[in-house]
Amino acid sequence: MIRVLLIAAVGTLLACGNPKYEIGQPSEDIRINQIGYYPNSPKQFVVNTKNSLESFKIVDFNTKESVYEGQLSAIKDWKLAGETVQVGDFSGLNINGEYVVFIESLGNSYSFEIKENLYQDAFKASIKALYYHRASTSLDETHAGQWNRAEGHPDDSVIFHPSSGKVGVTASPGGWYDAGDYGKYVVNGAYPLGQLLSLYEQYPGVVGDNSLNIPESGNEISDYLDELKYEMDWLLTMQDDDGGVFFKLTTKGFEGMILPEFAVKPRYIIGKATAPTLDLAAVSAKMARVTSESFGSEYKENLLLAAKNAWNWAIKNPNVVYKNPEDIRTGEYGDANLTQEFYWAAAELYLATEEELYKEYLLENPISFEFKPGESWANHMHYLAAFSLLDSKQDWTAPLKNELLKSADQLVSVMGDNDYNQPIQDFQWGSNSDVLNTAMILCNAYRFTGEKKYLSSATLIMDYIFGKNANGYSYVTGYGSKTPMFIHHRPSAGDEIDDPVPGFVSGGPNSRLHDSFQVNYPDSVAPMKAWMDVEPSFASNEVCLNWNAPLTYVLGFIEKEANNL
């Protein structure tokens, strides 16, 4: 069990009729989950303080009366955050309502709620963010509200770059923009699509029709699947006739911070490599298996054909590693170790076809499940393979469970000794996606064991994402009292609307400070504080598909399982 959870909920529920407390401007030194807590979830907060404090109260936001009081932990020195802190625990309070933490010498926290269905709105917003990232279409006011915009990047006449091995032009419309830029990348489109499909595979009713207000709403198919198909259809356009898959569709260099309609530089199909080919094989097979009842047999067969052709190309070309050509400056998504891609593709093809050759590959090529932070598109997709294989409940997959639980237990152990109860000690580019990917592992460990320590740990990780962190921000745009306003995101920068597009998770602290040439970080900034809510901070405050997908998964999962806390 996580160490901080063992701090007894040494608190007392109080009767009504107490003195009233004045609720004023929130103290930035009280860090809480700004969304709130499920009735039976662990409930903790952190106080940044140099002087030891004794007690706290939980005050009803409406009546201004204290309803719970407890003792703070001993003061702790947290090196990753560069802080001395105390921890408060009010897990004993499970009554629905709106509250603040109150500490005599500091005042009150931001308000938060205790309630069921706590994350439902944020969950749907994280999916709707994908709609806001659609390429090759306009976003009308009916579906996009104030973030409506004109069509950009029709991609109906894209130039083959010499690195593709082809000449001329082709059509490759649709799909989602990858990140804060307007590129479309197979590697970083297929992997997050696989994560999103995993949620639907495990909880088919997670999002119904008419749930997201997208153009396809009302077609009697889950809005979630409709949105995922928009990306899948684009991915299929990136497959060459020989089965290999092109790496990306981008300009030669990044466009300015402008809306899509004004970003009109020539766009190119660039490169062909083993990684995107295997990723397409995996996600096409998974899409065929998971969505066949929704999109029909013809679509399923097309997906399976694409997956098999991609696998065959990769077997013949097992180590074609992509590198940016000299004239290309857009994202490289480098990866020289393709073992995870082969494993994921073999797993999904086996489950979709039951052909022995894929099973044989898996048995002959076991893989390590030790979690490695950074570069999730390169390091983490084999976890998706394990989730799917274990769900198939075949005897030969049983050893995977031990490997998965070993990884999950290691993460729980790290959380017990780590600042802010999150499982990451190395804050790389996109650290929030690392945090969320560990939560995905814990969620699935809970699915396969029913042990509550895994589910409780996942909820604590979401506390970190929504404000219980060293920066005191909820990292999800539009969800929380203090959220990123200046994300590195071209549509948000170019639309002249104060609020950024909602539902995106900021990349998070990045101790490498790749953008320090244009962002003024404090001197000797602590790793957990290496984050700035400024538009130029592409290294800490950008958004990206592979960061949002695990956010969606974990929010949807916890919404489904919160009653079991």
pTM of the model: 0.97
- What single DSSP character describes residue 109? -
Active site residue 409: no
Strand order in the sheet with 169-170: 169-170, 158-160, 268-273, 245-250, 184-185
C-alpha distances in Å from residue 272, one per residue of 159, 182, 319, 335? 14, 20, 11, 13
Out of 29, 89, 155, 181, the active site residue is 181
Distance from C-alpha of 423 to C-alpha of 90, rounded to nearest angstrom: 22
On whether the CB atoms of residues 423 and 381 are closer than 8 A, the answer is no
* Alpha-helical regions (H) of 450-544: 452-465, 490-494
The pairing of beta strand 268-273 with beta strand 158-160: parallel
Q: What is the pLDDT along the chain (565 residues), one digit of tens a residue?
A: 343 333 444 577 776 667 899 999 999 999 999 999 999 999 999 999 999 999 999 999 999 999 999 999 999 999 999 999 999 999 999 999 999 999 999 999 999 999 999 999 999 999 999 999 999 999 999 999 999 999 999 999 999 999 999 999 999 999 999 999 999 999 999 999 999 999 999 999 999 999 999 999 999 999 999 999 999 999 999 999 999 999 999 999 999 999 999 999 999 999 999 999 999 999 999 999 999 999 999 999 999 999 999 999 999 999 999 999 999 999 999 999 999 999 999 999 999 999 999 999 999 999 999 999 999 999 999 999 999 999 999 999 999 999 999 999 999 999 998 999 999 999 999 999 999 999 999 999 999 999 999 999 999 999 999 999 999 999 999 999 999 999 999 999 999 999 999 999 999 999 999 999 999 999 999 999 999 999 999 999 999 999 999 999 999 999 999 999 9
Structural class in CATH, domain 120-474+542-564: mainly alpha
Distance from C-alpha of 268 to C-alpha of 246, rounded to nearest angstrom: 11
Coil, helix or strand at residue 108 = strand
Out of 133, 380, 488, 489, the active site residue is 488
Out of 65, 113, 451, 533, the active site residue is 533
Spatial CB neighbours of 306, under 8 Å, sequence gap ≥ 6? 236, 239, 280, 281, 284
Active site residue 533: yes
Active site residue 77: no
Other C-beta atoms lying within 10 Å of the C-beta of residue 161: 23
Q: What is the pLDDT of residue 5?
A: 38
**What are the residue ranges spanned by the domains of the chain?**
3-114, 120-474+542-564
Q: What is the pLDDT of residue 360?
A: 98
CATH dotted code for 3-114? 2.60.40.10
Give one DSSP letter per residue of 37-72, joined into a string. E-TTS--EEEEE-SS---EEEEEETTT-BEEEEEEP
Distance from C-alpha of 220 to C-alpha of 342, rounded to nearest angstrom: 35
Q: What is the pLDDT of residue 10?
A: 58
